[in-house]
A and B are shown apart, each in its own frame.
Chain A
Amino acid sequence: MYIIVGGGGQVGYYLAQGLIEQGHEVALLDKDPRRTEQLKKELGASIIRGDACEAQVLEEIGCARAEIVIAVTGDDEDNLVICQVAKTRFHVPQTIARVNNPRNEALFRELGIDLIVSPTQSILHSIELQIPHHTLVPLVSLTRAGLSLVELTVPSRSPAAGRTIRELELPSSANIVLIERGAEPLTPSGDTELQEEDHLFALVTADGERSLRERILTEAGAS
């Protein structure tokens, strides 16, 4: 598979290296002549000096036959333009952008970038995972379906503890798909009774996530 990577920083370098090891044909573009010289010593002919935002540069390296274009520079605006140019002018089927400002994620998605990777968001999620108290942790976003897989722990004093899933009357937009009780995984049904400290995994929409918070994470007696 022919893959173009824009941005020869640390991420671009390790990414290109990994893709080459996997047997892909890779072109890694970077604007900086010194950086490209340095990268060439390690990755050879795959390194090209040039601005991946420029249509002419992309044309010269045969962007039209690339199956994936990945933009991983440190600047969101450059990553956006690389992907939009690849998509609009060269009809590249799959574009992937790194997003540094998490607030750009929704916009990039709306503008047609196929996959958005947000290191900032990932780190934030990892931190939330370390502090699982009363929080709902997003694990995976299934962007096309508009669903997220989230994890939450039933707190002590949760209104949901001791009740069955059916009694919670969750909307269809919030589906508990797995319960981890101690070390045991349980497949939930309507009759499953939730207990304090149960780890729940649920598929939710934005609305479903709200219902899940309300019915499980709010403390009993709190208004």
Chain B
Amino acid sequence: MRILIMGCGRVGATLASMMANEGHDVTIMDISSAAFVRLGRDFPGANVIGDGTDEIVLRRAGIAEMDCFIAVTNGDNRNILAAQIAKNTFHVPRVICRIYDPKRQETYAELGLDSICPTVVSAQLIRNAILDPDKGTISAAQSLAEGRSVPLKGQQEAATPAQGTTNRQ
């Protein structure tokens, strides 16, 4: 899959490395070249410096050929604008963005824009960890996240669902 990620913060960089290591063709963009330090030296993908809310920069990053566009900068509105450019102007088949504000996410869900709201997701995960620790609500993403904080036991558990995802693609 050809994937373009906008925003090389913690989430963007983690996602880029994760997907590139799974064999996808990843390009990551950020307005600051310093952000690419987070990728580490062995990152196999490409990086582009520039503002992902500008059509011309997106075109230079190869958006027209991408299968997927992901907007994960720190600004909800920047992500929303970039995602809509990707979707409406470049017709990228799969577009997803991060929106911290749950109400804003609701509005954009109504408008047909796919998004992840970390506010709701983290609140739910924390609640489950405390109130329903044994329930089967733990997703692959959560076990992976837990695997990072508890490397010894967690990482092995996490390996299975993550590989399962790769094989399906």
Contacts and interface: CB of A to CB of B under 8 A. Distances in A.
Nearest to A78: B77
Contacts, number: 57
Given A84-B111, A85-B104, A88-B110, A53 B89 contact: no
Contacts of B88: 107, 110-111
Interface in A29-63: 53-56
B56 to A, nearest CB: 7
Interface residues on B, range: 20 to 34
A62 B31 CA distance: 37
Nearest to B77: A77
B61 interface: no
Interface string B43-82: 0000000000111100000000000000000011110110
Interface string A71-90: 00001111011001100110
Contacts of B128: none
A103 interface: yes
B107 A80 contact: no
A174 to B, nearest CB: 27
19 contacts: A53-B76, A53-B77, A53-B104, A56-B103, A77-B77, A77-B81, A80-B77, A80-B84, A81-B81, A84-B111, A88-B111, A103-B54, A103-B56, A104-B55, A106-B89, A107-B88, A110-B88, A111-B84, A111-B88
A101 interface: yes
Contacts of A85: 104, 107
A81 B77 contact: yes
Given A77-B75, A80-B77, A88-B110, A107 B84 contact: yes
Q: Taking chain A's interface residues, is the majority helix, strand, or loop, or is none over half, making it mixed? A: helix
A55 B81 contact: no
Contacts of A101: 53-54
B85 interface: yes
B157 interface: no
Residue among B84, B85, B108 with the most chain A CB within 10 A? B84
Given A84-B107, A88-B107, A54 B101 contact: yes
